Amino acid sequence: MSFLDNLDWRNAQKNFDPAKKVSAEDLAKILHAIRMAPSSWGAQPYHIYVIGDQATKLKLKERGYNQQQYEDSSHTLVFCGRNDLADRVNKYFELASGGDAEKRKAMDSYEKMMRGSLESKNPEDGMNWAYHQTYIALGFGLAACAELKIDSCPMEGFDPTGFDQILNLPANIKSVATLSIGYRKDVANMPKIRFPDKDLFTKI
């Protein structure tokens, strides 16, 4: 099976079986898919908290409009944007050059362009831009779950300030979306409602 085969199978799961846990091996595959997501400039301006601790999950539920998925899923991934972009650029080129000054020099024009683009953003614009990138990573996580036939539910229905407090986030990192993962209970799914192709696509 593959992601494309599983598109009709996957859904935004509301009813997780609390007794069924995602294995460490599968969790690692999902996190790898998220890590491999593309991002503008390759800056990866996000951080993902992986919550398996039940006490923390219950706190998230409280600030997540009591959505049961926070309690019953195996893990909840909290996707956060980050707007410490100047530091991100530095770290990116340190990593890309492996600390080699010559290699870094060879990337100088790319570094200048990236700095020009990212460092010109004010903190609010920077965070909004980071959020866009973060959603792509979320999509990769969703796709990986479908590929592995692991249920998931993406959620924005939570109080981000509350989540930031629960996770004790630094000022440069803010929660924006979550992905609860696990295994469904044997209950009927909501029907799939999708607009027809002609509503969504224009072929020219």
Under the rule (CB under 6 A), what is the footprint of ligand FMN? 11-12, 14, 67, 153-157, 177, 190, 192
Can you spell out the DSSP letters for 140-165?
HHHHHHHHTT-EEEEE--S-HHHHHH
Point out the residue whose Cβ comes nearest to ligand FMN.
Answer: 157
Return the number of other C-beta atoms located less than 10 Å from residue 49's C-beta. Answer: 18
| Sheet containing 46-51, strands listed edge to edge, beginning at the edge strand earlier in sequence | 46-51, 75-82, 173-182, 151-155
Q: 130 or 153: whose CB is closer to ligand FMN?
A: 153
Amino acid at 108: D
Q: Is 116 exposed, middle or buried (0-12, 13-18, 19+ CB in 10 A)?
A: exposed
Q: Tell me whether residue 92 or residue 183 sits nearer to ligand FMN (CB atom).
A: 183
Shortest spacing between CB 76 and ligand FMN, in angstroms: 12
Whether the Cβ atoms of residue 142 and residue 153 lie closer than 8 Å to each other: no
Closer to ligand FMN at the Cβ: 10 or 88?
Answer: 10
What is the nearest approach in angstroms of ligand FMN to the Cβ of residue 176? 9
Question: What is the DSSP code (8-state) at residue 188?
Answer: P
Beta strands in the chain (DSSP E): 46-51, 75-82, 151-155, 173-182
In this complex, which beta carbon is closest to ligand FMN, that of residue 115 or of residue 184?
Answer: 184
Is 182 in a helix, a strand, or coil? Answer: strand
Shortest spacing between CB 190 and ligand FMN, in angstroms: 6
Minimum CB separation of residue 161 from ligand FMN in Å reads 16
- Other beta carbons within 10 Å of 2: 9
**Complex with ligand FMN: residue 126 or 154, whichever CB lies closer:** 154
Least Å from the CB of residue 62 to ligand FMN: 15
Least CB distance to ligand FMN at residue 154 (A): 4
Q: Which is nearer to ligand FMN, 88 or 174 (CB)?
A: 174
